Structure 1
Amino acid sequence: MTISTTSTIAADAADAMPPLYGLKVLDFTRVLAGPFCTAMLADAGAEVIKVEPFEGDDYRQMGLQVDGHSANFAFVNRGKRSVRLNLKQAGARDVIARLAGWADVVIENFKPGVADRLGIGYGALSALNPGLVYCSISGFGQSGPWAEQPAYDTVIQALSGLMDVTGDPAGAPTLVGESVADVAAGMFASWGVMAALWQRERTGRGRYLDVAMYDCLLSMMPTLVSRVMAGAPATRQGNRHANSAPFGAFHAADGLFVLAVANNRLFAKLAEVLGQPALASAPEFATNQDRKRQEAALARLIEDWASALPVQEAVRRLTEAGVPAAPVLSVAATVASDNAQARGLVVRQRPASGPAMCHVEQPVRFDAMPRGQTSAAPALGADTLAVLEALGFDAGAVNAMQQQGVI
């Protein structure tokens, strides 16, 4: 049984077909981590059916509202179809059974145990379809002493150690300015799904995947964790680097710029730009470790040089000399930058109803596959009737479900 979808990309040439064309994903996720995962799959051509409660995904009411529509929801629910279904009604079981039989992949991000109580857990659905790849995303995983704790991104950042190492060394721990634990879990979940699908090609059997936001964030801290495990402390560095100098943010006449000098060759180039080539042969700056010990002195030299220069001029001189450098841009500035525009990173769409919204597609570019084709996020329940018809429910059955409060 095939359910057509606008999230796939029409193309005559086989090599322009999206890589996940034909993959069917049943999406029980909400808010950010799970929807980020399924949006990535939709970007690559998967058909994603998002099952929502009567009130809809909580994310529809969260974040910046534009004419009554959530910009956050639109960003991470692109390319999906929405089915409004009351999972607590007995009449929903037949719908779920047919969707489970249709799907290749199921993804949910309820608190551990909730999916089982709703009758959509791995045990129930894999019994109907042994080939299912079933992925559960949660804060701390399905087992362990923290498994039952409620988790938001802030909680994960705090417990992972990431918050402790972020911020000014003289100040308090600081949150990263994005929901990195949610996003990390979504990315690793999509990776895990692909690995399990490849294994299914050889075995014919599905798999159960347990993805924890906490685990994912910790795995994205290689320099910090390896440092601690080697016996050294992981501490806040502010706008400096733990191992290299000069490396980080510096003041120019009208703002901040960054530079990155991680070896002797780059330090020699920096010394030339500063007009002090002798620095490269000075014994106190001979090695990266020496320069790290002299970090404060180097910062003064750099900021003395940059104090009379606008940021753009300081960056121009550094980059022309081959020293990695850049201005510190706002999010608005980077979205509007020539590079973001040339790469087509931000996609603006107007859905069938509601204001124009934007999203950034998954970043991997597949040769010959056009970008910017993923459909806009759906209205709540917009595809319920079409999906039920495709699943084989006749008008009488659909009417009965409406009367019973199932759909």
Structure 2
Amino acid sequence: MDTDLPLTGVRVVDRTDGLGETASRLLADLGADVIRAEPATGSLSRHQEPVVDGVSLYYATHNANKRAVVAGDDDLSSLLDSADILITNNAADTRHQRPGLTVVAITDYGLTGPYRDWQATEWTHLALGGVLCRSGLPGREPLLPPGSLAYESAAAQAAWAALLAYYRGGDLVDISVYEAITQVLDPGFGIGGSATGGVPAVNGPRGRPDARHLYPIFRCADGWVRICVLAPRQWQGMFTWLGQPAEFADPELAKLGKRFAAAGRIYPAIGRLFATRTREQIVTEGQQHGVPTAALLSPTEVMQAEQFTARGAFTDVPSVPEARMPDGLLEVDGRRAGIRTPAPGHGQHTSEVLSTLTPATPGAAAPDGALPLTGLRVLDLGVIVVGAELGRLFADMGAEVIKVENRAFPDGSRQTFDGAAISASFAYGHRNKLGLGLNLRSPEGIEIFKQLVAESDVVVSNFKPGTMESLGLGYEQLAAVNPGIVIADSSAFGPTGPWSRRMGYGPLVRASTGLSGLWRYLDDEGGHSDASTIYPDHIAARIEAVAILAKLIARRHSGRGGTVSVAQAEVIMGQLQHQLALESVRPGSLTAVGNTGPADAPYGLFPCAGDDEWCVVTVRGDNDWQRLAQLLGTDLDLPTADDRIAHREQIDALVSAWTSARPPRRAMAELQAAGVPAAMMQRVPELLDDPHLAHRGFFRTMHHPHITEPMPTENGPAVFKSIGPPPLEPAPLPGEHSRDVLIRVLGMPADEVDALITAGIVEQWTDAHATSVERV
């Protein structure tokens, strides 16, 4: 047992099987004693593909750092009496509630609601959850994202909800994968990237948005590269790199909107510049000119890349010679919270676990309806999406979150196309926070910040690595002020390694981790389609939130704080863990698959009646096929997956003919009634009328004084039995609460605050400042 990890002493019983195993794995990485309680026949995931030399790489990657027991009913009861958290896929396990036990039920659609008994797969969730409708290129069919992003992302949400309930003192937590995907993978009612100009996805086009101009990809001498030219200084670097051509000398091109409008002239010039250069040359020159640039790497190149080698991001799979797997998702106190023990054999720890059980001692639970993080204070230096989301997660659960910024370096997500004081996107991402304007480039501002640290619990930031230290706000300096402070940072590639100082834009991270190359149409080598996604920002925020809360749990006993560090690149690789493990032993196995699942048929995307309407239909095996064949009225004798794959074209034609005669919602309903996993491609605005989401109270209405229309917004991260819903306080304007924070938190006299405002050390919002925020 590693006693230095924050969840040491927390016992988790894991009853998941192929759904949510990453949730308990994340807790195990952070030190929890996670015990898989399996039946005598073993869990199905022990045989889940991909399998190499008789070993499931899925099981090996998703169950490292856990122990395993064979538990009958009596043993399970004793085991749960000793546990703090139960994570399960089985709704019947919710009967095990007792004071102090957190029971987390992870199911496809939740424990209640009209879709409760529906069948689901990774692709049906992407379709119904509003992700598929925005993935792909205009004028083409939508494109299903690669990998297992839906289920892996839902597991991160489950881990966050589990620790919230545990921190409270126990609760019943109902996690719906469908709802989690709608909230965390590409949320239509959440903050978007700065290139969107504050326009949320719910207000986007009906079809696939043409987002290629936001983060364009160019062919070069040996592959593809992507650039992110967003800020005026980055455009100036690109202009210089192009040789300062007169046709692009217009100062108005410093504005993002003007530049996007001129993309038809600018991008061909960049394409000519890059055509004869290699990826390495372009990335090097991009750094020299201050232009954020990344090469599109293949999965094999990712596993050999200097950055990930230097950081030890991959480790061996002990049971499969030469196989490699991602080594954890984050760092705690400067150490990787990675693989300590391999995935356990069936029943490997039965005797040692069951012979040493002692009942858990429950702590005091918060009152029903209370928010679990009430009383915590977070200083939020985060910017753009991941920074906004991390602070919001804590604010929604009761923490006082103070967003610290200043007009000289405004949060890029405050940019708007229309010059408004605040955008809907920003309002989603920063609800329930306070706004403090503070100049951290001045000694006086640094001193005030340290005074706030003395009265706070957590500091979060996502600047380029080294920025906090350069300001004199590194962990050692802040821990000297408050030994209990938890300092958390996130970056593109982590705080160490040769790529650590690269700009941390999500599109560049996706390119550098192989995801952009996988997210494309099979018949179009240049049909990359990840420009509109904001993955992995919302996922990285949740993983970081889990680690921060784990540190706060440990602080209850030790009194000490510490550090948490998350690299977005390593989050992506961790969510592709079993696919990358297979790639390590079978190079070239991890490739784009488009809209056709290779393991069975039918498994893909099918047209429905109407304009650009689609339904995903996924057969998982022989029983699904028999149910589908009966619904279709076909007598095709195709008893095995191999038989069906051999006749895929014929089957797809039958399914297409059937779905084309039906509107998508009717097609989905009839397929689900037959027991076939299927889902319509639901657009973001349609989510508001979804009967299942309505039944489960997924949406509430938020109001902001500077936004005319009411804003539908997501509710909490799960359906809790005892934890109340988040407040819906409006997101702050820059410096809106400066006076309140300094007077109330620090006890600063009002005349001293006035003097600091006059001196420009502290900033307070006035209407005169409305034009000082950089506009795109």
TM-score when scaled to structure 2?
A: 0.48
Matched, 1:269 2:636: no
Matched, 1:84 2:450: no
Query: How far did 1:316 drift?
Result: 2.9
Mean Cα deviation higher: 180-189 or 393-402: 393-402
For 1:141, which of 494, 499, 512 is the aligned residue?
Answer: 494
Conserved in 2, the CA contact under 8 Å of 1:346 and 1:358?
Answer: yes
Alignment of 1:100-179 (within 5 A): 100-171=453-524, 172-175=527-530, 177-179=532-534
Cα separation, partners in 2 of 1:201 and 1:295, compared to 1, 3 Å: farther
Mean Cα deviation higher: 175-184 or 27-36: 175-184
Partner of 1:367: 721
Partner of 2:591: 235
Other structure's SS at 2:473 match: coil
Query: How far did 1:266 drift?
Result: 0.8
Partner of 2:617: 259
Alignment of 1:7-406 (within 5 A): 14-55=367-408, 56-62=410-416, 67-171=420-524, 172-175=527-530, 177-231=532-586, 233-254=589-610, 255-276=613-634, 278-279=635-636, 282=637, 285-355=638-708, 356-390=710-744, 391-406=746-761
Cα separation, partners in 2 of 1:103 and 1:196, compared to 1, 3 Å: same
Q: Distance in 2 between matches of 1:321 and 1:98?
A: 63
Letter in 2 for 1:142: P
Other structure's SS at 1:149 match: coil
Cα separation, partners in 2 of 1:66 and 1:397, compared to 1, 3 Å: closer
Q: Distance in 2 between matches of 1:336 and 1:68?
A: 30
Cα separation, partners in 2 of 1:238 and 1:38, compared to 1, 3 Å: same
**CA shift digits 1:301-326 (9 cap, x unpaired):** 21133333333333232121111212
Letter in 2 for 1:206: G
**CA shift digits 1:166-212 (9 cap, x unpaired):** 13211223216420122222111111111211222232211211111
Q: Distance in 2 between matches of 1:344 and 1:165?
A: 35
Conserved in 2, the CA contact under 8 Å of 1:42 and 1:374?
Answer: no
Q: Distance in 2 between matches of 1:181 and 1:190?
A: 14
Q: Distance in 2 between matches of 1:311 and 1:405?
A: 58
Partner of 1:9: none
Cα separation, partners in 2 of 1:66 and 1:403, compared to 1, 3 Å: closer
Other structure's SS at 2:520 match: coil
**CA shift digits 1:125-174 (9 cap, x unpaired):** 11211111110111111011211111211111111111111132112232
Conserved in 1, the CA contact under 8 Å of 2:421 and 2:706?
Answer: no
Q: Distance in 1 between matches of 2:413 and 2:578?
A: 33
Cα separation, partners in 2 of 1:57 and 1:161, compared to 1, 3 Å: same
Partner of 1:7: none
Paired positions, count: 389
Q: Distance in 2 between matches of 1:65 and 1:248?
A: 40
**CA shift digits 1:20-53 (9 cap, x unpaired):** 1112111111111011011011111111111011
Q: Distance in 2 between matches of 1:132 and 1:220?
A: 29
Q: Distance in 2 between matches of 1:158 and 1:188?
A: 21
Cα separation, partners in 2 of 1:348 and 1:119, compared to 1, 3 Å: farther
Other structure's SS at 1:385 match: helix
Query: How far did 1:354 drift?
Result: 4.2
Mean Cα deviation higher: 300-309 or 122-131: 300-309
Q: Distance in 2 between matches of 1:242 and 1:157?
A: 23
Q: Distance in 1 between matches of 2:756 and 2:643?
A: 73
Cα separation, partners in 2 of 1:226 and 1:246, compared to 1, 3 Å: farther
Other structure's SS at 1:25 match: strand
**CA shift digits 1:265-301 (9 cap, x unpaired):** 111101101102x43xx3xx33334433433332122
Q: Distance in 2 between matches of 1:136 and 1:293?
A: 50
Partner of 1:10: none
Conserved in 2, the CA contact under 8 Å of 1:264 and 1:288?
Answer: yes
Unaligned 5+ runs, structure 2: 1-365, 763-776
Conserved in 1, the CA contact under 8 Å of 2:665 and 2:680?
Answer: yes
Conserved in 2, the CA contact under 8 Å of 1:240 and 1:247?
Answer: yes
Q: Distance in 2 between matches of 1:176 and 1:241?
A: 23
Cα separation, partners in 2 of 1:108 and 1:298, compared to 1, 3 Å: same
Conserved in 1, the CA contact under 8 Å of 2:427 and 2:704?
Answer: no
Letter in 1 for 2:755: A
Other structure's SS at 1:91 match: helix
Other structure's SS at 2:528 match: coil
Query: How far did 1:403 drift?
Result: 2.6
Query: How far did 1:68 drift?
Result: 4.0
Cα separation, partners in 2 of 1:399 and 1:308, compared to 1, 3 Å: closer
Mean Cα deviation higher: 348-357 or 169-178: 348-357
Conserved in 1, the CA contact under 8 Å of 2:461 and 2:488?
Answer: yes
Mean Cα deviation higher: 104-113 or 251-260: 251-260
**CA shift digits 1:235-293 (9 cap, x unpaired):** 212222243332221123333111121121111101101102x43xx3xx333344334
Other structure's SS at 1:45 match: coil
Q: CA RMSD in A?
A: 2.1
Q: Distance in 1 between matches of 2:420 and 2:616?
A: 38
Other structure's SS at 1:209 match: strand
Letter in 2 for 1:331: V
Query: How far did 1:58 drift?
Result: 2.1
Q: Distance in 2 between matches of 1:87 and 1:206?
A: 23
